Structures are given as C-alpha cells and as structure tokens.
Amino acid sequence: MGYRIGWFSTGRDKAARDLLTAIYEAIRKDEIKAGLSFVFCNRVFGESEESDIFLRMVEDYGINLISCSSKAFRPGIRKKGRRDPEALVKWRTEYHDEVERTLAGYAPDLNVLAGYMLIASSKMCERLDMINLHPAEPGGPSGTWQEVIWKLIGSNAASSGVMIHLVTRELDGGPSVTYCTFPIQGPAFHTLWDDLHRRLETKGLGEIIDGDGERNGLFMEIRKHGFMREMPLLVQTIKAFADGRVRIEDKKIWVGDEVVKDGLCLNKEIENRLDAGKDFR
C-alpha cells in the first residue's frame, strides 16, 4: 500500500462524506500515492441517518471500517461528564484507550481527523500522529469557524486562511503543518466592509451578530472564501506527506531538513486547484 492513512470521522453530514470522497478519488487517480488503511467512526449503524450513509459509503469504497459507538460507551460516566470535568476526562481517556485497542492491528503513517467530533484524549494525542483542519491562518483566531469569522470582523483583519495542524493535548493549539491564506479586504469585500462600518455607527458588533447571525453578508463572503479552500488544502497536505515534502518527527513539523514553525505554505497549489475548478463541494 505504500504510505498509509488512518481516517477518523463521526460521519455526521455531507461535508464529512465529501472530504473522504475527495481523498479517495485523489488516491484512485494516483494523484496521492498512498492508501487508506482504515476509516474509524465513533458511530455505528442505526445511530443516525447521516452517519449510516457515511458508513455505507466506506463499505462501498472497500475501505476497512472500524466503528465504536461513543454514545454507547460507558454512558453513566459520559452523562456524569456533562457536569463533572474530571469524569469527562476519565470517559474520554477510557474511550480512546478502547479505540486504540481496536486499531492495534493497523500502523498508519498519518492519522487524519476529518469531521471527527470528539476531543482526542491526551494519551492518544501523545501516541499517534494526528492532523486536523482549523479555519484560520497560523496565529489567527481560535474557536469554531463561526467564532473565527466574527473575531476577524471584530478586529478589522486584512486576511484569513485555513491550516492543517498537529493534534496535541492543547485543543486547536498544535503547530501548523500546512496552511493557505487569502485577503478579506479588497474589491470583493469593500462594499460589505463599508456597510458594516455604517451600521457600527449606531449599533455595537454584538447587536449585529445577534441580529444577523450567519446571514450577515461580510460573514458569508469570508466563509465562502475559507470553505472553498478547505478541501484542496486537505488534498494537497496529504499529498505533501505522501511525497515526503513534509513529515512529523517527535511532534515537530519538518520540511526537508528543517523544523518549521508555521508549517508549509501551500498558497500556490491551492490557487492552482481553484483556478482549475477542482474540489468544489
């Protein structure tokens, strides 16, 4: 199989299916010289209509499917964890210990979290090399993609981006592996920023957020530019690993013979894919 990829997903929506399909097709077309060793899902058949579609898709692709229901795993401790942080950490650790036992027969070179909705345990982060997508450039805002966008708007930011980072014990705090950036000021954004600034003369940003939510024009435009880069960045990142351009050693990111702080910039590759009309969801 050559370079081997382990894939983790909750499979909760179409986006999760699209990400897996993009990598599957890139491997099938020999664009990525690697193989999917397994797909792990923390849901089993019957828990959700959406995840059932995902699980059937994995089987149709002929990929090894491993499922372990997080919902059914020690539900008493899990329920207690809603109000007791220590119980939640205990449950998270025990669940992912079970996951690692289930995956003991596999030895992927890289593990990809793609729509995996659980926080990996500290032990799992230490033992496995795992990467995850975050909707901001290195050094950019933390949080969900919604929180990131509002923070960008609130700071009148000039740019944003998407990065793939190493999963560590610090949530969303691992070093960047690869990234791309894009401007959020300029011709495509002028009218939207001007409209926001006019509204800010009489309203606070919090009022605008509460009133507009995700329907705000500037919010939607920033999201569009970030979203369209997520899939090509993931494809190009896995390709870079498989080709040996980037690697993880001792939880550090190496490009060639150098340890890099912000990872490998893939702006050129991403824009080329977008210009060619690839990867649109």
Beta-carbon neighbour count of residue 276 at 10 Å? 9
Tabulate helix, strand, coil % of the chain (nearest 5): 45, 20, 35
* pTM confidence score: 0.91
Give 100-137 pLDDT, tens digit per residue: 999 999 999 999 999 999 999 999 999 999 999 999 99
120: Cβ–Cβ under 8 A, 6 or more apart, which residues? 92, 96, 113, 130, 167
**Residue the block writes with tokens 């702006």:** 267
CA distance 223 to 37: 32
pLDDT average, residue stretch 148-176: 93
pLDDT at residue 281 is higher than 80: no
**What pLDDT band is residue 261 in, cutting at 50, 70 and 90?**
confident
Tell me, rounded to whole angstroms, the distance of Cα 48 from its chain centroid: 21
pLDDT recorded at residue 117: 93
* CA–CA distances in Å: residue 236 to residues 41, 76, 94, 109, 180: 23, 42, 34, 16, 11
Nearest to 229 by CA among 263, 183, 262, 260: 183
Structure tokens at 96: 């992912």
We find that the CATH architecture of domain 1-128 is 3-Layer(aba) Sandwich (3.40)
Q: Is 262 exposed, middle or buried (CB count within 10 Å of its CB: 0-12, 13-18, 19+)? A: middle
Structure tokens at 202: 């009489």
CA 206, 217, 273, 34 torsion-angle sign? positive
- Return residue ranges of the chain for CATH 3.40.50.170: 1-128
CA distance 198 to 104: 58
pLDDT average, residue stretch 199-215: 95
pLDDT recorded at residue 279: 60
pLDDT recorded at residue 1: 55
pLDDT average, residue stretch 6-22: 95
